[in-house]
Amino acid sequence: MEKKTVFIKDTNRIVQAGKDFDTHFLSYVREVGLEEVVEVTRVADIGIYDQGVVVKIMPGDIQYAQVKDTDIKRIVDETLKKGNVIQELVCTKEPKQLRVVLRNCGVIDPDSIEEYIASGGYQGIKKILSGMTPEQVIEELKVSGLRGRGGAGFPTWLKWKLTREAQGDQKYIICNGDEGDPGAYMDRSVLEGDPHSVIEGLMTAGFAIGATKGFFYIRAEYPLAVERIEKAIAKAYDYGLLGNNILGSSFSFDVDIRLGAGAFVCGEETALIASIEGKRGTPRPRPPFPSVKGLWDKPTAINNVETLANIPVIMTRGGAWFAGIGTEKSKGTKVFALTGKVKNSGLVEVPMGITLREIIYDIGGGLISDKDIKAVQTGGPSGGVIPKEYLDTPVDYENLQKLGSIMGSGGMIVMDEDDCMVDIAKFYLGFCVDESCGKCVPCRIGGYQLLRILNRISQATGTLEDVDKMKKIALAMQKASLCALGQTAANPVVSTIKYFEEEYKDHIVNKKCRSHKCTHLLNYSIMQDKCKRCRICVIHCPANAITGDKEKGFYVDQKICAKCGKCFEVCRFGAILKE
């Protein structure tokens, strides 16, 4: 019999169903004398969740779920020995991820141009330089329906077309690697894991718009990404895939790297351009758009890393193939950085149109604890929260926008009951206020004042009037800010108020934070029935807020209590109630 491997995993999130299942399995295998040809292995993760005990048999890729101890005999006798598939047990969970952008990440050595070429790399540019015109390249992009993955979702073909048509003796193409959203690191992974794909995408874009010079603008906080791109560029030059007359054609293309310097706002196109020009990184009014007047006043197109990583595949497999993935208006895949209270946090790449539920439960493995999901935050500091009622929403640009959030660059944070919506809004707004360039009033002062109000709400000094004030400021920021940072900085606030206004009111009127996040709204008290009167909390309290004696018991004086949580930390008897 051919050697077979059996993989076993109990996929139930909470109550484990199959105790010692693998021991039982192995013991039956031994019983029937198959231990030489059947290997039984417990795995840490099998890609299927909440389906009881899952048994996978390779080769053959047979997968059974909800397997009980009583099924072991059948599986060994029928499937292992005879090769028959037991239909009732079969679990056909299709793989949800579709790796297009991340096709080479984790597969090839990023420092090896040969591995990239061996995986089909630079075939796209070769095809283009074998007789295609820039117009044909743009047409292929149009067919593909690719939209900018940096967050705005602007049709890539249109951006290239407008830049191509603009007047200018010199044009530029820039790769935006400034990925500033907290928690988003898709671009970093692509730059570190498959740098050549981005170089190839950049070259293709340059060809399409008529640019002979390209820039990588990478944030300085990504030193490894910079190093990998630097090495990749050098290798590409060595092989003649950059520089003059690439692959013997008349197309020449040079690439340079420019580093960011710690400013989130420099991910915005015009601020990025100012940064490369050596000026203060602040946005400019648009129009004129960069496609007409960009870097050094020349027509410039700026594309996100993920967008560019899609280009070589679109050119080799065709725009129609790409358009076959995704929804009507959002084609292709999207890489999300799935983080938060989810079991499997990391990067996931899925076709557009997959639902949030599928991402979180089928790929993410569900929530990490036994708490209920509360909401999903998408789009980073420019996005909003999507409450659990909408988990079956197919993910695409338009749907997320309708819910009051955005796709953004791909941040997706799963939240449970322990996450306070006011706190979340505060975190994101605080980020934007910190990163505001300061040029325009609505963002600079509006963001600051909005944050002050949120701080007061989370410190028990908010009023109901504050909710209206926040909405007023948010409207001014949205309509009158100079760039998208200011225009979207209030989104988390607006979105959380929209869906969780009760939570805000709870903070304001009842001075309660049910998620126990806002420390000023916490109440620490001693549960007399559990308290052993050991006085450890008294000794550790920095505010001397615990008084009493061994006879009558100890009490926390709420007026003095600094809400530091030290008593909660040090009590060995669980006698401190935190609410």
Shortest Å, Cβ 205 to another protein? 20
**Segment contacting another protein by CB under 8 A, of 290-298, 468-476, 500-508, 548-556:** 468-476
Q: Does residue 69 bind another protein (CB under 8 A)?
A: no
- Closer residue to another protein (CB): 280 or 371: 280
Backbone angles phi, psi at 514, to 5 degrees: -65, -20
Stretch in the footprint of another protein (CB under 8 A) among 150-158, 219-227, 323-331, 386-394: 219-227
Residue list 84-123, contact with another protein (CB under 8 A): 97, 102, 104-111, 114, 117-118, 122-123
Q: Does 347 bind another protein (CB under 8 A)?
A: yes
User: Of 109 and 557, which has the nearer Cβ to another protein?
Assistant: 109
Query: Are 94 and 362 in contact, with CB atoms under 8 Å apart?
Result: no
Q: How far apart are CA 81 and CA 102, in angstroms?
A: 38
566 binds another protein (CB under 8 A): no
Strand partners of residue 55: 8, 64
Render 65-95 in DSSP notation, one character per residue.
-S--GGGHHHIIIIIIII----GGGB-----
Q: How far is the CB of 61 from another protein (least distance, A)?
A: 5
Which residues 7-26 are close enough to bind another protein by CB under 8 A? 7
Which three-class secondary structure state does DSSP give residue 411? Answer: strand
Among 316, 449, 519, 525, the residue binding another protein under the rule CB under 8 A is: 449
**Interface mask (CB under 8 A) for another protein, residues 267-306, using x and -?**
-------------x---xx-x-------------------
Total residue length of the chain: 579
Furthest-apart CA atoms within the chain: distance in Å: 94
**Closer residue to another protein, CB minimum distance, 79 or 144:** 79
Find out whether the peptide bond into 95 is cis, omega within 30 degrees of 0: no
For the bound state, the minimum distance from the C-beta of residue 245 to another protein, rounded and expressed in Å, comes to 8
Scanning residues 157 to 186, which ones bind another protein (CB under 8 A)?
A: 185
Which of residues 68, 73, 402, 472 is near another protein by CB under 8 A? 472
Residue number with CB closer to another protein (41 or 369): 41
H, E, C per residue of 224-289: HHHHHHHHHHHHHHHCCCCECCHHHCCCCEEEEEEECCCCHHHHCHHHHHHHHCCCCCCCCCCCCC
Based on the shown chain and the rule CB under 8 A, indicate whether residue 434 belongs to the binding site for another protein: yes
| Nearest residue (CB) to another protein, 42 versus 520 | 42
∠ CA 163-218-157, nearest 5°, is 25
349 binding another protein? (CB under 8 A): yes
Question: Closest CB to another protein among 8 and 545?
Answer: 8
Residue type, 514: R
137, 301 contact by CB (below 8 A)? no
**Environment class of residue 478 by beta-carbon count within 10 Å: exposed (0-12), middle (13-18) or buried (19+)?**
middle
Any contact of residue 56 with another protein (CB under 8 A)? yes
% helix, strand, coil for the chain, step of 5: 40, 15, 40
Spatial separation of the C-alpha atoms in residues 416 and 418, rounded to whole Å: 5
Residue showing tokens 């990440």: 105
Taking CB under 8 A as the criterion, the residue among 452, 530, 532, 578 binding another protein is: 452
Among 15, 33, 36, 44, binds another protein (CB under 8 A): 44
Please, which residue, 243 or 548, has the CB nearer to another protein?
243
Residues linked to residue 215 through DSSP beta bridges, in sequence order: 174, 256
| Position among 39, 139, 254, 398 found at the interface with another protein (CB under 8 A) | 39
The DSSP call for residue 572 is S
Record the tokens describing residue 262, joined without a space: 């710690």
> CA-CA distance, 318 to 331, in Å (whole number)?
13
Decide: is 154 part of the binding site for another protein (CB under 8 A): no
By CB under 8 A, name the one of 292, 482, 518, 546 that touches another protein.
482
Residue with tokens 């009622």: 389
- Binding residues for another protein, total number by CB under 8 A: 87
Q: CB of 454: closest distance to another protein in angstroms? A: 13
Q: Binder to another protein among 154, 239, 251, 555 (CB under 8 A)?
A: 239
Binding of another protein by 189 (CB under 8 A): yes
Regarding 199 and contact with another protein (CB under 8 A), the answer is no
**Of 4 and 159, CB closest to another protein:** 4
Residue 54 interacts with another protein (CB under 8 A)? Answer: no
Tell me which of 179, 192, 268, 503 binds another protein, using CB under 8 A.
192
Angle between the N-to-C axes of helices 223-238 and 195-209, in degrees from 0 to 180, rounded to the nearest 10 = 60
Nearer to another protein, 136 or 528 (CB): 136
Residue 444 touches another protein, criterion: CB under 8 A: yes
Token reading at 435: 């990163």
506 in Cβ contact with 536 (< 8 Å): no
Query: Which of 280/402 has CB closer to another protein?
Result: 280
